[in-house]
Amino acid sequence: MSSFLESRELRKQYKEVREYVKIGPIFLTRYEKARIVGARALQLSYGAPMLIEKPKEVIDPIKIAKLELKARILPLTIRREYPHGEYQDIPINKLILKKD
């Protein structure tokens, strides 16, 4: 029964995201995720403030950046473009994160 409810919620979420995202997949691609985590880790290593409460045992900026992305609190935008120049700016909070 719970899997049925979960699948209904997922379908509803996919439909909402598809209405917003017109260019590309409704998921955050692995390349976009790598770019976001890398850029955020660089910011953290240069002393940018953390946006989450850091667990005591975590000191790696890449792990902290992944935690921030998973918490969906990064105020970043992805620009997806067509070859002819049309583009769409999509906040990363609108995209669906795949479970890794």
Q: Is residue 97, in this structure, part of any structural domain at all?
A: no
Query: How far is residue 86's CA from residue 84's CA, in Å, rounded to a whole number?
Result: 6
* CATH code for the domain of 61: 3.90.940.10
pTM: 0.83
Could you read off the pLDDT of 13-31 as tens digits, one per residue? 889 999 999 999 999 999 9
Higher pLDDT, residue 28 or 55 = 28
Query: How far is residue 31's CA from residue 7's CA, in Å, rounded to a whole number?
Result: 27
pLDDT on residue 100:
60
Spell 60-91 as b/e; 16+ CB within 10 A means b: ebeebbbbbbeeeebeeebebeeeeeeeeebe
Q: Is residue 99, in this structure, part of any structural domain at all?
A: no
Q: Is residue 81, in this structure, part of any structural domain at all?
A: yes
Mean pLDDT to the nearest integer, 63-68: 94
